[in-house]
Chain A
């Protein structure tokens, strides 16, 4: 239960207890016919009601008469409420023009209100006219409650008048309950509601529009001021995208896949025909439906195709542009003899430089790597075993950062478990996904995955807090015990592995996004060519608890 709910319940209980004594005393006077103040003001009304209804107030009833009067009255109320609902369509005070309520629902409501259970099996505002609500339901709210109170009073009288034959007059009890108890209470509470501004009307329902649509109506013009796109029109190519906020594109490489409303180029299924042997009418290839990258290389220095059979694009000297079977992957109007550009998007690229994504425009056959052209197996710097495949344990040219204590390495005698770190699909990264609550809520918090066998050995239950330690650092995480991680058998020895995702840190949008930093555990070692850090194969120790 929410705090609000608890407070409301307590408040209700306090009010009930506080009212019991004064209200009870007042009610006793009302039923016993002793003077209580209001009878002076409203006595004439009470007498008028008795005269109109033909009730003889001095006449007491026995229990059978009392019960029959009560049942007859309730049955009549039930019939009235049922009838009102069935014919409300032709009665006044119905500005919405509600038709008759269905027979079953009418009976349900009538029976329920006559017995003071007030079960509303419908949406009141969309079903019942003002008249039905006022004359039917609200009246029953009073008289069915009054009936209940009258019956209770009769019961009390039955207990207290041990020897009497009668238990009061039902009609008097009903009238006095309504007139002297429920009506004053309801007026007081109605005034409280009015003072708080509760809406009350006999009018038809007003229509309110809660959303006001906004339209941006700025057409897009090209350099010469000619209309290029109307507002909302799809863009035909990513080349038309602008940096002034007037255009938008989900992902530029797919720009133009919807060249017009309702047309999706990816759904095209035209087969290759004629010169178009690359079938440009079949689907869409990003970017710009270009089929072969760097296709300038299919033509020689002069811009003529090397092969007639496999020609892709060529230079058309008359039109002064590249034309052909494919979309040019080259500045469209750059002639084969054009000099290298000094500035702009194609800076450093000339008419012969087909490989436009390289700054020099040329292709490369080899990439330079530090540790040789031939593969060799080396053990990680922290390993549970020596190199079983070669005499040299570790990569002799690996990048080892000389930062003292921050980069101490562990040995398997003190750190017997293999540690590997990784990312989870749900967290794209750390600095980004920790600030996205919809991603951060997908994991409970920082955890380490350990196999069930290892957990059993260390007495760790699924969900226990554990400490993972390397010579560099120590972190506290929750243990996720799983069957998915199985022990290795290395050189005849059983070795357990611990897996820790690394997305957590001290900042994050919610509790589940914050935790210790996995990368504190990692050694500062890099591969010789790219310096990518060693975060997959390390040694660690694990113990239960965080003390």
Chain B
């Protein structure tokens, strides 16, 4: 396995220009969609099969309702170390590359959509034209030719940076310290910690506030954690139904037999 590649998005540098969104659509040749009213500059409201990149806009106000900060965050597939989509995929269409990214093989995907509901971040979307699940690949074709994803290439402020994960992690920590010194006390990393939730995210973020400010789950969890308990419940109910059926047929017992 090659060194893990990762994307580091520093929201303190994002200017919300959405060049990343357009670059993503252009490189991946994704069709445009009619936008929906979101009450802010953001469009589209969520990831779709035609929008793998999304700049989210949040207006943070203080306790008095006064404007505190206008946050912009370029959101993307996190290529989690413990990927819910990958674990849920029944056909093996979702796989991990030698660089640690998570992709969906469109030829093998059978369109069951388990991955759509298994993603803790709402990234995976279903394409009704091809009948397959789709998402960001970190521009798989580009990174295998040494180019880096189109979004990172297009970012004019280097808010989106792409490179080896361990290198980026060092830079990210330095940047947090820098911001702390500048007075941004809430600056923090999200998903950088390999011992953290989902074994660390290969697209990690520097946030200027709590993850909830950016609509991110504080502790993302895999839906698979429910499997054992749910299976036991299913087995229990199956036994109860079987018992019920047996009791219903009990009066025939004497008449049965070979």
Chain A residues at the B interface, C-beta cutoff of 8 Å: 2, 61-65, 119-123, 126, 158, 163, 165, 424-426, 437-445, 452, 462-463, 478, 480-484, 486, 510-512
Tell me the minimal C-beta distance from A171 to chain B in angstroms. 14
- B257, A64: Cβ atoms under 8 Å? yes
- A444, B67: Cβ atoms under 8 Å? no
Complex: chain B residue closest to A164, CB-CB: B255
Q: Which of B40-48, B159-167, B201-209, B217-225 contacts A (4 or more CB under 8 A)?
A: B40-48
Residues of A within 8 A of B108 (CB): 123, 126
| Extra A-B contacts (6), CB below 8 Å, given A442-B21, A512-B35 | A165-B255, A425-B18, A437-B32, A438-B32, A441-B43, A483-B61
How many B residues touch A, CB cutoff 8 Å? 41
**Closest 10 A/B residue pairs (Cβ):** A437-B32, A483-B67, A123-B108, A65-B258, A441-B32, A121-B90, A425-B17, A462-B39, A444-B37, A63-B256
Tell me the minimal C-beta distance from A267 to chain B in angstroms. 15
Ordered by A's residue number, 10 sampled pairs between the chains whose C-beta atoms are within 8 Å are A123-B91, A123-B93, A126-B108, A441-B43, A444-B35, A445-B35, A483-B61, A483-B66, A510-B34, A512-B34
| B181 interfacial contact with A, CB 8 Å | no
- B43, A443: Cβ atoms under 8 Å? yes
| B177 interfacial contact with A, CB 8 Å | no
Residues of B within 8 A of A512 (CB): 34-35
Tell me the minimal C-beta distance from A393 to chain B in angstroms. 32
Residues of B within 8 A of A123 (CB): 91-93, 107-108, 110
Per-residue CB proximity of B2-18 to A under 8 Å, as 1/0?
00000000000001111
Residues of A within 8 A of B25 (CB): 438
User: B38's contact among A424, A440, A444, A452, by CB below 8 Å, is which?
Assistant: A444
A194 to B30, CA, bound (A): 35
| B234 interfacial contact with A, CB 8 Å | no
A64 to B22, CA, bound (A): 67
Interface of A is mostly: loop
| B174 interfacial contact with A, CB 8 Å | no
- A484, B38: Cβ atoms under 8 Å? no
| B70 interfacial contact with A, CB 8 Å | yes
A443 to B26, CA, bound (A): 17
- A61, B37: Cβ atoms under 8 Å? no
A442 to B107, CA, bound (A): 31
- A443, B35: Cβ atoms under 8 Å? yes
Known: A122-B91, A126-B108, A484-B67. A463 touches B37 (CB 8 A): yes
- A426, B18: Cβ atoms under 8 Å? yes
| B195 interfacial contact with A, CB 8 Å | no
- B41, A443: Cβ atoms under 8 Å? yes
- B37, A511: Cβ atoms under 8 Å? no
Tell me the minimal C-beta distance from B146 to chain A in angstroms. 11
Best-buried of B38, B108, B258 by chain A (most CB within 10 Å): B258
Best-buried of B16, B70, B256 by chain A (most CB within 10 Å): B256
Residues of A within 8 A of B40 (CB): 480
- A483, B59: Cβ atoms under 8 Å? yes
- B252, A441: Cβ atoms under 8 Å? no
Tell me the minimal C-beta distance from B251 to chain A in angstroms. 11
User: A121's contact among B18, B33, B92, by CB below 8 Å, is which?
Assistant: B92
| B144 interfacial contact with A, CB 8 Å | no
Residues of A within 8 A of B31 (CB): 437
A121 to B65, CA, bound (A): 53
- B18, A442: Cβ atoms under 8 Å? yes
Complex: chain A residue closest to B24, CB-CB: A438
Residues of A within 8 A of B18 (CB): 425-426, 442
A299 to B44, CA, bound (A): 59
Tell me the minimal C-beta distance from B118 to chain A in angstroms. 15
Complex: chain A residue closest to B31, CB-CB: A437
| B250 interfacial contact with A, CB 8 Å | no
Residues of A within 8 A of B67 (CB): 483-484, 486
User: B36's contact among A163, A442, A444, A480, by CB below 8 Å, is which?
Assistant: A444
Residues of B within 8 A of A437 (CB): 31-32
A480 to B39, CA, bound (A): 6
Tell me the minimal C-beta distance from B62 to chain A in angstroms. 10
Residues of B within 8 A of A121 (CB): 90-92
- A442, B43: Cβ atoms under 8 Å? yes
Complex: chain B residue closest to A485, CB-CB: B67
A260 to B33, CA, bound (A): 41
A424 to B252, CA, bound (A): 79
User: A441's contact among B33, B59, B93, by CB below 8 Å, is which?
Assistant: B33
User: A484's contact among B21, B44, B59, B128, by CB below 8 Å, is which?
Assistant: B59
A484 to B57, CA, bound (A): 12
- B92, A64: Cβ atoms under 8 Å? no
A438 to B15, CA, bound (A): 19
Tell me the minimal C-beta distance from B180 to chain A in angstroms. 26
Known: A441-B33, A444-B43. A61 touches B91 (CB 8 A): no
Residues of B within 8 A of A483 (CB): 59, 61, 65-67
A63 to B17, CA, bound (A): 72
Residues of B within 8 A of A425 (CB): 15-18
Complex: chain A residue closest to B68, CB-CB: A483
Residues of B within 8 A of A122 (CB): 91-92
Tell me the minimal C-beta distance from B247 to chain A in angstroms. 15
A481 to B36, CA, bound (A): 16
A249 to B26, CA, bound (A): 20
Tell me the minimal C-beta distance from B43 to chain A in angstroms. 6
- B258, A62: Cβ atoms under 8 Å? yes
Tell me the minimal C-beta distance from A448 to chain B in angstroms. 13
Residues of A within 8 A of B65 (CB): 452, 483
Residues of A within 8 A of B32 (CB): 437-438, 440-441, 510
Complex: chain A residue closest to B44, CB-CB: A441
Tell me the minimal C-beta distance from A543 to chain B in angstroms. 20
